[in-house]
């Protein structure tokens, strides 16, 4: 079924957490390991604007449906960051824009060159670049849903679990858009399949890898994706990705876990 972009834009809202008892974290705080993971998640959500900035230099921004989606998607991801920051605030951990700006400055020339690289790649690949963008976005959003679901299961805190379920529900709509677009574009172009397969197999890495330290990425993946249940979640994401045209057999998430030394 085709994704209804008009309905999505008309019903897009910020995630709600006003009715959740965040004050309960004062009496029942999250352990340090979980707080580090929540902080990682919040930082990634707040950095969505950088990803959007880079893609505005590519052929994707000329697609009306894609532009409409990215506008609402960026807004929703920002509020995911705000919600997670509210949880952190209950533990006296503050995320502000000066901190975010400082983390972006640490990326140095890499951050400045990313939009240029995206623009050059988009020009070289042409319209098939949109298939790469959509497939990459689907992989990232499937990974995000898996991470939020695993965190809710592992922590067991009812307030955190409910908030993460609400965020995952919005991420599911993001997956629906990316997947619908990716399937159509991959199905229409063998060249797009080959380019996308090459890009995902060679360059995909866990969400946040480009902005967080290796230690932070390893912590996140060990926390959420280690052991039999973690690997089962990773396989589920890989199965979804490899179910798209031309991407059969890809195991990019499991490969990433192996590269990070995450035990099965």
pLDDT band at 66 (very low <50, low <70, confident <90, very high): confident
Please count the residues of the chain: 264
Lowest mean pLDDT among 71-85, 121-135, 166-180, 189-203: 121-135
For residue 105, which of 47, 58, 35 has the smallest C-alpha distance?
47
Report the largest interatomic distance among the alpha carbons of the chain, rounded to a whole angstrom: 56
pTM: 0.87
Is residue 3 a part of any domain in this protein?
no
The owner of tokens 């995909």 is: 204
Structure tokens at 114: 């990313």
Other C-beta atoms closer than 10 Å to the C-beta of 86 total: 17
Q: What is the CA radius of gyration of the chain?
A: 18
Is residue 93 a part of any domain in this protein?
yes
Is residue 37 a part of any domain in this protein?
yes
pLDDT band at 116 (very low <50, low <70, confident <90, very high): very low
Is residue 13 a part of any domain in this protein?
no
Mean pLDDT of 101-119: 46
In the predicted structure, residue 107 carries a pLDDT above the cut 80: no
pLDDT band at 119 (very low <50, low <70, confident <90, very high): very low
State phi, psi for 16 to the nearest 5 degrees: -100, 135
The owner of tokens 């529900």 is: 169
Is residue 180 a part of any domain in this protein?
yes
Continuous H helices in 12-127:
24-27, 32-46, 48-55, 64-89, 97-106, 109-125
Is residue 46 a part of any domain in this protein?
yes
Structure tokens at 221: 């993946």
Domain containing 33 — which CATH number? 1.10.620.20
Task: Please give the residue range of the domain that contains residue 64.
Answer: 20-259
Q: Give the chain's domain count.
A: 1
Instruction: Express each pLDDT in 195-211 by its tens digit.
Output: 999 989 998 999 988 88
In the predicted structure, residue 168 carries a pLDDT above the cut 60: yes
Is residue 12 a part of any domain in this protein?
no
Q: Is 52 exposed, middle or buried (0-12, 13-18, 19+ CB in 10 A)?
A: middle
Mean pLDDT of 29-38: 97
Is residue 144 a part of any domain in this protein?
yes
């Amino acid at each position: 079924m085709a994704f209804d972009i008009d309905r999505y834009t008309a019903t897009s809202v910020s995630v709600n957490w006003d009715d959740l008892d965040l004050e309960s974290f004062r009496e029942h705080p999250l352990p340090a390991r979980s707080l580090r993971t929540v902080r990682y998640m919040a930082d990634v959500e707040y950095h969505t604007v950088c990803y959007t900035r880079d893609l505005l230099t590519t052929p994707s921004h000329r697609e009306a449906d894609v532009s409409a989606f990215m506008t609402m998607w960026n807004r929703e991801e920002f509020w995911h960051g705000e919600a997670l920051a509210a949880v952190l605030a209950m533990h006296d951990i503050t995320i502000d824009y000066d901190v975010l700006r400082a983390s972006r400055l640490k990326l140095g020339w890499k951050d400045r060159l990313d939009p240029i690289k995206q623009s050059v790649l988009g020009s070289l690949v042409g319209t098939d670049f949109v298939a790469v963008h959509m497939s990459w976005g689907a992989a990232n959003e499937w990974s995000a849903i898996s991470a939020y679901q695993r965190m809710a299961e592992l922590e067991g805190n009812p307030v955190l679990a409910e908030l993460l379920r609400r965020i995952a529900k919005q991420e599911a709509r993001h997956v629906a858009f990316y997947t619908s677009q990716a399937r159509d574009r991959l199905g229409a172009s063998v060249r797009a399949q080959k380019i996308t397969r090459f890009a995902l197999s060679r360059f995909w890495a866990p969400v946040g890898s480009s902005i967080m330290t290796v230690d932070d990425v390893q912590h996140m993946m060990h926390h959420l994706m280690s052991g039999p249940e973690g690997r089962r979640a990773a396989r589920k994401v890989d199965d979804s990705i490899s179910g798209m045209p031309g991407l059969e057999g890809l195991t990019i998430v499991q490969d990433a876990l192996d590269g990070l030394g995450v035990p099965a």
